[in-house]
Amino acid sequence: MTSLGTESNPLRVAIIGSGPAAFYAVEALQKQTGLVAQIDMFDRLPTPYGLVRYGVAPDHQKIKSVTKLYEKLATNPRFRFFGNVEFGKHVTVADLRQYYHQILYATGAQSDRRMGIPGEDLNSSHPATEFVAWYNGHPDYRDCKFDLSCERAAVVGVGNVAIDVARILSRTPKELQATDMADYAIEALRNSKVKEVYLLGRRGPAQAAFTNPEVKELAEMEDADVFTLPNEVQLDELSQAEIAHDPDPLIQKKVEMLQSYAQHQPSGKARRFYIRFLVSPTELVSDGNNHVTRMHLVHNTLVKSETGTLSAQATDKTEDIDVGLVFRSVGYRGLPLPDVPFHERWAVILNEGGRVINPDTKQPRVGEYTSGWIKRGPSGVIGTNKPDSVETVNAMMADLQKGSVLSPEHPEVDYAEEFVSSRQPKYVTFADWLKIDKLEVENGAKLGRPRVKITSVEEMLKVVGK
């Protein structure tokens, strides 16, 4: 029999998910010398690119330009996109084993972690993930409602997502109009009454997870002044010792920028943006009508944990701030996939180096792999997924060399397409997506915008005639 991975007997790979980790895996597979691999990518939505389309802030268009690379990878004749096909509903693990030698799960981390405090479920308290998906035009979240009639909002967390949400709340309609934000979100934010935004971190400035470019651009907002409190951005002894022991110029620069904001004076801009450190919410207080009106905070001090990292410890000092809208951004969580081993506490697919592990035998499940946030947890930026996916593809190639792959009954390329069509006749190809993309960009050009997003699956299918 002809060796697997050749022209006459290509390696058949199914990838579940179409975000950065998925496309970097495609790139790594396509770069393998002497390998012929036929790759089929599946996504629940008709649109590819996952977090790049629905997670990256709309005022960060440069970051979204990475999709040019993904599009180039997708034009390879040995690549197919099956959009509008849901794993677990239209196709299952058992189905894929009939058509592919290897299966890669790259579904990201779609849920959020909770704060675990009283009042967290009040009407005007939301996961930041929902707000991000809403303003980015995700079909599942387009009908969400956020009460922007209050004057003060708080975002809990100091990662890039948290600072994105706080910045979007502080942008002017003119600034938002120049982005690819969903039309309905631009209109809602145009009428926003929010004047003050608090970004709340439980640890100090040296431990903040947001990146330096994110901090720098705050000073460039058109109509919002940025402030920090001098006592909160002054490094404590433990943070000073940590930085002295392992100097990182990026962290030092970040701290300097945050400290510089403590010297800011009001300039007459309409909005104020406060970055607070060493505070944790302990309760959200209602007005009696199930809406947040106030947040109880406790002040923290930093202590060294058993692992050597600096963690926040509550003091006896407390504070209240009046806020009418709260977004929590204290971490993402991966969601389990049907019939795929999942580690509930870590919220990732159970794996070792990208190989999916059988929880009973503690051995790899033949032909099944994972990459990205669902593999390692929600850490890093878009580019972090590249080495992560390369590691997984290296494991796939090592298993291929050993002959440790699935034995599909129907490895022929046409069979898989016929099967998908039988389960979901309205599947969307990459050529279909390009039609949607073209229309969005054309509609945006008329208004001087990058694109005007189509936010309904039904509308997308109409565009491609399905």
Domain boundaries, the chain: 11-110+334-463, 113-331
Tell which residue, 420, 418, 238, has the closest CA to residue 313. 238
Please report, as a single letter, which amino acid is at residue 25. A
Roughly what angle, to the nearest 10 degrees, separates helices 183-190 and 128-135?
110
Per-residue tokens: 104: 């890669």
pLDDT in tens, the chain (466 residues): 468 999 999 999 999 999 999 999 999 999 999 999 999 999 999 999 999 999 999 999 999 999 999 999 999 999 999 999 999 999 999 999 999 999 999 999 888 899 999 999 999 999 999 999 999 999 999 999 999 999 999 999 999 999 999 999 999 999 999 999 999 999 999 999 999 999 999 999 999 999 999 999 999 999 999 999 999 999 999 999 989 888 899 999 999 999 999 999 999 999 999 999 999 999 999 988 899 999 999 999 999 988 888 999 999 999 999 999 999 999 888 999 999 999 998 999 999 999 999 999 999 999 999 999 999 998 888 889 999 999 999 999 999 999 999 999 999 999 999 999 999 999 999 999 999 999 999 999 999 999 999 999 999 999 999 8
The helix/strand/coil state of 174 is helix
Other Cβ atoms closer than 10 A to 136:
25
Beta bridge partners of 104: 15, 369
Measured distance CA(324)–CA(148) in Å, rounded: 8
Contact 165, 112 (CB under 8 A): no
180, 453 Cβ separation under 8 angstroms: yes
| Residues 134 and 185 sit within 8 Å (Cβ to Cβ) | yes
CA angle (45 as vertex; 39, 49 as ends), nearest 5? 60
Pick 11-110+334-463's CATH classification: 3.40.50.720, 3.30.420.610, 3.40.50.970, 3.40.1410.10: 3.40.50.720
* CATH superfamily of the 113-331 domain: FAD/NAD(P)-binding domain (3.50.50.60)
The structure's pTM equals: 0.94
